[in-house]
Amino acid sequence: MKRTGNVYCAVIVVLIAGVFTTVALSQNSDKSTPARGGRSIAYYTKIISDIALSIRENYMDDVNLDELFNSSFEGMLANLDPYSVLLRRDDYEALREAASGRYEGIGIDIDYRDGEVTIITPLEGAPASKLGLRPGDKIVKIEGRIVSRLTNSEFNALARGKAGTTVRITVERPGVANPMDYVVERAVVELHPVKYSGMLDQSLGYVRISKFAEKAGDEFQTALRDLKSRGCQSLILDLRSNGGGLMDQAISVVSQFIPKEKLVVYTKGQSQSTQRRYLSTGDPIFPEGNLVVLVDSGTASAAEIVSGAVQDWDRGVIMGTVTYGKGLVQNVFEWENSDYALKLTTSKYYIPSGRSIQRPERSHKNGALDKELGQANNQDTKAFKTNNGRKVFGGGGITPDVPVSRKGLLPLEHNLSRENLFFQFAIDYTARVKSIPRDFPVTDEMIRDFRAFVKSKDFVYKSSSEELLANLESAVAAEGKAKSFTTEIEALRKAIEREKDQDFERGREFIRSALRREILYIKFGDSAVYEEIITKEDPAVRQAMDLLKDRGKYNALLKG
């Protein structure tokens, strides 16, 4: 829902299995069956019931039964993995929407901050966009209610609704004196998993998949066919910050690169029904062209299935940083006439070489490693072999074939992004400057204007040196020596302030790029950001392009 300064930011969909299982309670609990440990489920069910009854009848104050049982449910799941959780009805519906890639509403991506709702993106083709709502518009009223008095969930409940119904909103727009009223008819809004595809030169294509929601496979096939028709012979598949999604969509994407009926992934769990093998389907669209898959620490789950299968079959080169390491499969169980659903990890998945990419430290909510589980997963630390005999390891995400170092952000750069000041300035700038060409430069004057804008927002941040100085002051104060060091500490403080004044110069290129990105986004949309910045300036994309042009180096990386 919220767009940050990082254009790769995307919603993480953890429902990797894509299976919603509706079951009756009576079908899932044989009360006579002993649990592990010798007791039956019926035994523990009676104890829970007796405890709850004793609390309700004897506790010194009134007890809210909903809160009481919610606590007991959470306690029951506390020692399982982080992805096994109890879902309330609203949470479940949000999960289904994220997995389906569609919802009913007016089609806006918003930033909810300090009681204010600012439109970040009116989604292309959605009702809000068709009525002329713009990035930067601030929604001050919805259905006559003042937005600053609503919670995030209350606002969402009012904004979303059945297709064909209407909602009244009032917006304030920079550069326009009076608020503007809109009546927006809700519709089914499609969230497209393929964010961008295009040719980088006459033979090199690029596709960005932001998540593996429904239709990710179909959209990828459409994009790939289009690129092939335009002469694509080599491809960059960008899966950075792709948090995963549906397993069948991941298999659909992998199937465009490897022959039919090749193993893509298999799953193993306690139940026999969880032990399954998933093979590639159909004839691939891109079976031979050179391929680079871009990954990072935000590449997870279904996106790791794709990158792992490509690596294990030696079908392409994985480039970037080590991926997240989520190799667990969840199913969702519903009960009739219940406000709850259970999202439960039912198995682990393994990619073709036989390795699991699940990080052990992410296998439990409390971070502890279960000894029995650890013994069962000793194989994760072993070396495995790709199809060509290259050595790979499991148990810690996908390690890229070609690492790409990522420059860390200066404290100034991090905090400017965190406070969304680049976007806020871009809103103000595009409201003042009506004619902005797509190839506009970010001038020194614009950077000076941005610096003045930041100052007007009372922006403050702490540099690393300031943090160290604060620790020093605390240490000397604790020893009762603050007065003895007053002169030295004051001198350090002045030196740090002089050093901070230089941060804007050190971060000039980052600031220039961030301003250009946000202004392009507001004026021309996502595609302009990809075409003018990501595919031209992104270091990882440039490195991938260089590799794909060096056939000898590319082939050497994939040899056993």
Contact 117, 79 (CB under 8 A): no
Per-residue tokens: 162: 């059945």
Residue type, 60: M
Mention every residue, 6+ apart, whose C-beta is less than 8 A from residue 349. 16, 247, 265, 266, 267, 305, 327, 328, 329, 356
- CA gap 302, 245 in Å, rounded: 6
Contact 213, 249 (CB under 8 A): yes
Residue 345: exposure state from Cβ atoms within 10 A (0-12, 13-18, ≥19): buried
| 301 is an active site residue | yes
Catalytic residue among 195, 326, 343, 348: 326
In DSSP terms, 119 is beta-bridged to: 110
Catalytic residue among 197, 234, 255, 301: 301
Which has the closest alpha carbon to 18: 358, 351, 329? Answer: 329
Which has the closest alpha carbon to 206: 289, 112, 277? Answer: 289
| Length of the chain, in residues | 560
Q: How many other C-beta atoms lie within 10 A of the C-beta of residue 257?
A: 25
| 326 is an active site residue | yes
| 526 is an active site residue | no
- From residue 71, alpha-carbon distances to 48, 75, 76, 340 in Å are 12, 6, 9, 14
Residue 98: exposure state from Cβ atoms within 10 A (0-12, 13-18, ≥19): buried
Catalytic residue among 81, 137, 296, 312: 312
Dihedral sign (CA 269, 272, 274, 277): positive
CA atoms within 13 A on the CB side of 505: 5
Crossing angle for the helix pair 539-549 and 551-558, to the nearest 10 degrees: 90
Contact 135, 122 (CB under 8 A): yes
C-alpha angle 110-112-118 in degrees, rounded to nearest 5: 50
Query: How many helices (H) does the chain have, and how many strands (E)?
Result: 21, 22
Residue 435: exposure state from Cβ atoms within 10 A (0-12, 13-18, ≥19): exposed
In DSSP terms, 108 is beta-bridged to: 122
DSSP string for residues in 275-327: -EEEE--S--SSSSSEEEEEE-TT--THHHHHHHHHHHTT-SEEEES------
Could you give the residue numbers annotated as active site? 301, 312, 326
